[in-house]
Structure 1
Amino acid sequence: MSALRIVVSTFGVLLGLAGIEHGVGEILQGSVRPAGPVIESWPDAAALEILGGEPALTVIPDLLVTGIAAVLVAVAVLVWSVWFAGRRHGGLVLILLSVLLLLVGGGFGPPLIGIVIGVAATRIGVPPRRGPGRVARAAGRAWPWLLGIAVLGYLSLLPGTVLLDLMLGVDDPGLVLGLSVLSFAGLVLALGAATAAESPGPAHRQSAGRREPGLG
């Protein structure tokens, strides 16, 4: 797989698992009508108080049905991002699935990530109009490291903040915000670097532009 597809697939798995986790919390609340469209996936879980009970949005007036829908759509997002994101219209389908995940209780962060990687997936296999500059080429060589930082930031947010709260009593909203920014910024940088990594360098473009002797 290309660098860009690896980044898309990696975060597709993470957001899919996060959507499933939201759905499980909603299923456990049973067949009850939410007070409004904005809900908490885990309102009674003390361990998740640091994350505000994991807020989500639903257009379905039943938490049990919401949770089931969230799990199903999250699984679809995971499968699609890993196996089909690189196909024609694969990125568009991923964006639509992410919007659907938002509407059926999959949280706010996971669908946002899905939209971002869906937009990036529309560029998989698309040749750039021009090659990357020197800085972009250097970033392209570092895309695995940037992806690692992004994943670390995401895992530090969940389950990292939950574990810190349980084991050390660290309950700091500022930490949650900082890790959220780190994860999102890392994802954007990883996607940009992966895109640059797939762009041909100057030497490749020059050789591609030469005509082979005897071919017309």
Structure 2
Amino acid sequence: MNSATRVATSTIGVYAGLLGALHGYFELLQGDVTSNGIGINAIGTPCQGNLVWHACLPAMTIVPNLITTGILAITISSIALVWAAVFVQRKNGGLILILLSVLMLLVGAGFVPPFAGIVAGVVGSRINAPFSIAQTSLSGRVLNLLAKLWPWTLIAFVAWSIGGWILGYFFNQIMLSLSFILFFFCNLGLPLLTVVTGIAHDIYNRTTRAVDM
């Protein structure tokens, strides 16, 4: 098994499950309220999306009731979390995580968690693969550079996943002014970079072992 890829996949999948469940928790707090359309904010009033860095955790739901949406978001996100942590490396494990992530999207678990879950699921479906396409597509220099970034990308991802909330609490205005950049580079870019460097690390290790033999 590609060990670095496995760690990256499970970590990102667990993150998706935790953040999705957090969306559900805030939706539960809004109570037995009918949602006004498919687009919602997990954090209800008095939260104003344009005044806080997390934009009140925007989400979508096909269920026209926030308490039901919250229950479903927590339940499905929790299943996705356990699946990513324990079962993603099994046959069709990545596909199941992708399906769970799509369900998360539809029941109020936000947008970033399903994205992270789908990334983890796609990579998880290739955990035991040799990554021959990636190996032939990347030059040796690029592959070595990406491999050396592991596990620092994973550490940065985990640090941002936790530290972003702490920074937002104390420096809301700064985070708000940088929200567009942070969203694309940290919420979207870091999960992708983490799995790419994990894959590169596994390819590099396998190539090195083959040369030594």
Interval containing the TM-score (normalised by the shorter chain)? 0.7 to 0.9
Give TM-score, length-normalised by structure 2. Answer: 0.86
Letter in 2 for 1:201: T
**Secondary structure at 1:186's aligned position in 2?**
helix
**Alpha carbons of 1:174 and 1:134: their partners in 2 closer, same or farther (altered >3 Å)?**
same
In structure 2, the partner of 1:32 is 33
How many angstroms apart in 1 are the aligned matches of 2:155 and 2:5? 14
Give per-residue Cα distances to partners, 1:161-206, cap 9 Å, x unaligned.
Answer: 23322xxxx2553322222222222221221111111122156158
How many angstroms apart in 1 are the aligned matches of 2:33 and 2:94? 35
Map of 1:136-215 to 2, 5 A cutoff?
Answer: 136-165=143-172, 170=173, 172-183=175-186, 184-199=188-203, 200-201=206-207, 204=210, 207=213
Map of 1:76-155 to 2, 5 A cutoff?
Answer: 76-129=79-132, 131=135, 133-155=140-162
How many angstroms apart in 2 are the aligned matches of 1:163 and 1:15? 24
Give per-residue Cα distances to partners, 1:126-164, cap 9 Å, x unaligned.
Answer: 113264623213321321001112233333433432332
Aligned residues with identical type, % of pairs: 35
**Alpha carbons of 1:203 and 1:26: their partners in 2 closer, same or farther (altered >3 Å)?**
closer
**Alpha carbons of 1:205 and 1:100: their partners in 2 closer, same or farther (altered >3 Å)?**
farther
Give per-residue Cα distances to partners, 1:75-120, cap 9 Å, x unaligned.
Answer: 0111010001111111111110000000000001111111111111
- Say if 1:44 and 1:53, in contact at 8 Å, map to a contact too: no
Letter in 2 for 1:197: H
In structure 2, the partner of 1:210 is none
- Say if 2:13 and 2:117, in contact at 8 Å, map to a contact too: yes
How many angstroms apart in 2 are the aligned matches of 1:100 and 1:9? 18
CA RMSD of aligned residues (A): 2.2
Letter in 2 for 1:29: Q
**Secondary structure at 2:168's aligned position in 1?**
helix
Letter in 1 for 2:44: P
In structure 2, the partner of 1:214 is none
The structure number with the bigger radius of gyration is 1
Give TM-score, length-normalised by structure 1. Answer: 0.85
Gaps spanning 5+ residues in structure 2: where?
Answer: none
- Say if 1:41 and 1:105, in contact at 8 Å, map to a contact too: yes
Match of 2:70 among 67, 71, 75: 67
For residue 30 of structure 1, report the CA deviation from its aligned partner: 1.2
For residue 47 of structure 1, report the CA deviation from its aligned partner: 8.9
How many angstroms apart in 1 are the aligned matches of 2:62 and 2:181? 30
**Alpha carbons of 1:8 and 1:193: their partners in 2 closer, same or farther (altered >3 Å)?**
same
Map of 1:1-16 to 2, 5 A cutoff?
Answer: 2-16=3-17
**Secondary structure at 1:201's aligned position in 2?**
helix
* Range 32-41 or range 182-191, more displaced: 182-191
How many angstroms apart in 2 are the aligned matches of 1:125 and 1:61? 41
**Secondary structure at 2:109's aligned position in 1?**
coil
- Say if 2:48 and 2:55, in contact at 8 Å, map to a contact too: no
Letter in 1 for 2:26: G
